[in-house]
Amino acid sequence: MMDLVFSDIHADIFGLESILDMASSDGFVKKYGKFSRIINLGDILERGTHPKEVISKLQSLEKNYPVISVMGNHDEAFLYNRLVGGNSIESMNAHAKLTGDEMAFFKQKKDGTFGIQQFIDKKTRCFASMAGHWTQKK
């Protein structure tokens, strides 16, 4: 078994579906094996126009796989109402329609911050960290 690792989906459900389809295809599985865990390296939000669908897909994947999501700078900027360049009006409108249930994917902590900033797996010697984040340390 292996990890499926991706980043920078940017609210592109078609890109996410393509990755999942490829990694689940018979040819891929025969050559590389099945994935047993998903590691999202961030930036699932902003720029694209399908944030609801991307979050919904990741939430549905959590029913069958461990899904680890490290915050990306675009995710964090959106959650803290900071502007990041490159967004279209269509993208901003689609993101404005996200509900509290969908935003719960980012798991707000008691201190008011969201998500995880880093992931460490000592067994596989994997370290993933958010780069370029916006929050201020207290």
Concatenating the DSSP letter of every residue in 5-74 gives: EE---TT-HHHHHHHHHHHHSHHHHHHH--EEEEEE-S--SSSSS-HHHHHHHHHHHTTTS-EEEB--HH
Segment 2-23, tens digit of pLDDT:
999 999 999 999 999 999 999 9
Question: Taking the domains of the chain in order of start, what are their residue ranges?
Answer: 2-129
Lowest-confidence segment of 29-43, 46-60, 73-87 by average pLDDT: 73-87
Segment 88-118, tens digit of pLDDT:
899 999 999 999 889 999 988 888 888 888 8
- CATH topology assigned to domain 2-129: Purple Acid Phosphatase; chain A, domain 2 (3.60.21)
